[in-house]
Structure 1
């Protein structure tokens, strides 16, 4: 019974950790939606579009995608081609999933490091966005941190497949648990 409570606590902790990035992604999506709505109205009715709409779209999209990436990675909600899944037993499938997650976690650390370096360079050069003059290194550092978090999540997920498969959430186990935030 104590082990079951421990497993539930791990799952609950994971859901709480996923809540903030999910809120950031949802807020970014909402802001993008509102900005697009006003851009279309201003463009259609007054022939005066939002000048920085393209720039804001890029920023909101980057925030949305990279905020959601660690959460999607932990939950295993990536788009997958599962043509060969029926050929694997559950045990072999779990080993395959562990290897894929571990390798992806290790490999993803390189782009995170590279983006971090590029963010430092953008900071040194004083690069800013075209219309809003927002320093570009802010978003680049955000992307680097989110990518590194995704690498850690994938590596941890791979280890969980090996040592504690009950801790790994799958899309099927999440269907009723994510509607209203962490529980």
Structure 2
């Protein structure tokens, strides 16, 4: 079990690097767009569509790690109660499992929309990038998120010692 967790940690570097590259490209593009717009009155025409694509890559590439690693925003109004009753691990397992299972519906819907865009031949306005690639990426990232949440929920039940200290 420990080797599985260490493998998952090593693999998680790739989406982080992808998000970093997307953020860097977004920052550079925004900088040049502002300069070109202000100084030369010639904005980057494709900046809007590139911003949307890069934001999708940025958000959905780190979604599995944020979701499985307790990085999401949470209001801990009942943490004291669950800690006193020693039910925190059971609550976390139920939340992870339920959340992972509930993600199946959005995965299906996004995949259907991506396939529809592929069938229609939808492309972006300026660069003619096929839209279905972004849909496939979002569906795949959400599927990985669902899987990682289900695995994390199962780890809470069957192997809590393999989880990092901050997620118990």
TM-score tier (shorter)? over 0.9
CA shift, 1:14, in A, is: 1.6
1:37 and 2:31 are equivalent in the alignment:
yes
Offset, 1:63: 0.4
Q: Does 1:132 align with 2:127?
A: yes
Matched, 1:106 2:97: no
- Could you tell me which residue of structure 2 aligns to residue 58 of structure 1? 52
Residues 76 and 169 of structure 1 are in contact (CA less than 8 Å); yes or no, is this contact kept in structure 2?
Answer: no
Is 1:123 the counterpart of 2:118? The answer is: yes
Give the whole-Å Cα distance in 2 for the aligned partners of 1:124 and 1:169. Answer: 44
1:75 CA displacement: 1.0
Residue in 2 aligned with 1:72? 66
Q: Does 1:82 align with 2:82?
A: no
Aligned length: 166
Deviation beyond 6 Å, 4+ runs, structure 1: none
What SS does the aligned partner of 2:45 have? coil
- 1:161/1:168 contact within 8 Å kept: yes
- The alpha carbon displacement at 1:10 in A equals 3.3
Q: Is there any run of 5+ residues in structure 2 with no aligned partner, and where?
A: none
Shift of the alpha carbon at 1:26? 0.9
Distance 1:69 1:117 in 2: 20
TM-score (norm 1): 0.86
Q: So what's the TM-score if we normalise by structure 2? A: 0.94
Corresponding residue of 2:8: 14
Give the distance between the partners of 1:96 and 1:50, measured in 2 at CA: 49
